[in-house]
Amino acid sequence: MLNLNSNDLKKDFALVARGVEKSFGPLRVLKGVDLRIEYGKVACILGPSGSGKSTFLRCMNHLERIEKGLLQVAGEMVGYREHKGTLYELRPSEIARKRADVGMVFQNFNLFPHMTVLQNIIEAPVNVRKIPRTQAVDEAMNLLAKVGLTAKASAYPNTLSGGQQQRVAIARALAMKPKLMLFDEPTSALDPELVGEVLNVMRALAADGMTMIVVTHELGFAREVGDLVVFMDGGVIVEQGSPSDVFNNTQTARTKAFLSKVL
- In tens, the pLDDT along 180-206 reads 999 999 999 999 999 999 999 999 999
Q: What is the CA 88 to chain-centroid distance, rounded?
A: 24
Question: What pLDDT shows up at residue 262?
Answer: 84
Residue 24's DSSP bridge partners are 27
How far, in Å, CA of 85 to CA of 143, rounded? 42
Q: How many CB atoms lie within 10 A of CB 114?
A: 10
pLDDT at 131 over 80: yes
How many Cβ atoms are within 10 Å of 220's Cβ, its own excluded?
10
- Mean of the per-residue pLDDT values of the chain: 91
14: enclosing H helix or E strand:
strand 13-24
CB-CB contact of 126 with 136 (8 Å): yes
Mean pLDDT of 142-146: 97
Q: What is the pTM of this model?
A: 0.91
Return d(Cα 103, Cα 109) in angstroms, integer.
Answer: 13
Residue 228 has pLDDT above 60, yes or no: yes
Q: What does the DSSP 8-state code read for residue 252?
A: -
Query: Average pLDDT, stretch 48-56?
Result: 96
